[in-house]
Amino acid sequence: MAGLNHHTAALGDLETFRFPDEETFLAAARERFKGALLLQTCNRIEVLVHGDAQGLTAFLHEQGREAFDILEGVEVLSHLLEVAAGIDSMIIGEDQILGQLKRALALAQESGACDPIIDLCIKKAVHVGVEVRRRTEINRGAVSIGSAAVALAEDLLGSLDGRHILVLGSGEMGMLVAKALAARDLTAIYVANRTYERALVLAEKIGGKAVNFSELTRYITLSDVVITCTSAPHPVLTREILARAMRDRCWPTEGHPRPLVVVDIAQPRDVEEGAAEVDGVSLYTIDNLRDVNEHTIETRRTEAARAEAFIEEELDRFLSQINGASADEVLRGLYTWAEAVRTRERDRALARLQGYGPETEAVIDDLSRVLTKKLLIDATFSIRSCAEQGRIEDAEQLVRAITRGDRLCSRRDD
């Protein structure tokens, strides 16, 4: 696994590393690795492959990505479980990561980049994530990125009572923001989206007002807070739009606009660089949400420790499952070879018989199957045993010895 996340990368670094066309990326990865998956969220971009670290590093360099962290082996499995459990999230205990992992797996499957190992990794991680939340209270009182944005706005303004709020974006994050706002005593919630029908659906769910994108400037003028979270690949709130809206917010006597709080939690960012220089605009991004998390993290430290203990227990099971799946892959090569030999020799035997009927053909076929299976029993046991102990190279060497006549190299234990 390689990539960047909120622990070591700034928002700008994450934006630079992001892959805008996920399907194209997975198609390229599919040509290089047995399996691949791309996980992209607001706070992390991580690539998981069934391959080796050297190959993944070279591949990402070819994709124009130079600086990234890389994990391999058991570290990857441990990391996946921590991510799914919410321990590794910027907002400790948040639940959105489970859906994001499922979507990443679905996209890998649809693109043909997924293989049994990748499938097992993600499904196991999601299972552990669900179990952690069932066994602990790590997500009790936890906030999503969306609700953290609302909490940040509330901290900045002292209270959201009687305020006008504009939510820009009606996807999953927009829904989380809107739900958090619906619990406040607001005067008005406006929902804007490039597709008006989607804005209308979300507005109806929370008792807000859907806004046409063409009326964006007008509703920015009316609002005290703008929270933007679209999935657009480019800025949707430009400096020009904000400047135009702020001119209409000027106090009659002072000539200065009423302050506007803009919280941009989109990735890539929705607000154009330099927009914070517009008079009266206070711009905040995902990086500012770390402070909100610090207010709630103390109440979940004990639960996080319990989650980590459970993850340690599950890690051994996870490793055993991965090794077992690897054994299946190694054995697949052995049985493919054996089946080819069986059918070839069966056909030769049948060709030597004269005037045989379907019954004879069935007997010969059954005999060859039974013999092949019995001859491979001990070899199968040894190969699977090696693989499940993590000795994949030994398992592969055994298969090569049987199928190609390679010599077995003795290994001296250290």
Q: Pick out the residues of the known binding site for NADP(+).
A: 169-174
Dist. CA 139–CA 142, nearest whole Å: 5
Residues 6+ apart with CB under 8 A from 259: 280, 282
- The CA-to-CA distance between both ends of the chain, in Å, stands at 29
Task: Show binding-site residues for substrate.
Answer: 41-44, 89, 94-96, 100
Residue-by-residue DSSP string for 242-296:
HHHHHHTTB-TTT--BPPEEEEE--SS-SBPTTGGGSTTEEEEEGGGGHHHHHHH
Query: Other CB atoms closer than 10 Å to residue 372's CB: what's the count?
Result: 17
Of 173, 174, 176, 170, the residue nearest 193 (C-alpha): 170
Of 307, 303, 264, 5, the residue nearest 141 (C-alpha): 303
Element holding 373 (H helix, E strand): helix 358-375
Q: Please confirm, yes or no, whether 409 is among the known catalytic residues.
A: no
Dist. CA 291–CA 151, nearest whole Å: 10
Q: Looking at the annotation, which residues are catalytic?
A: 42
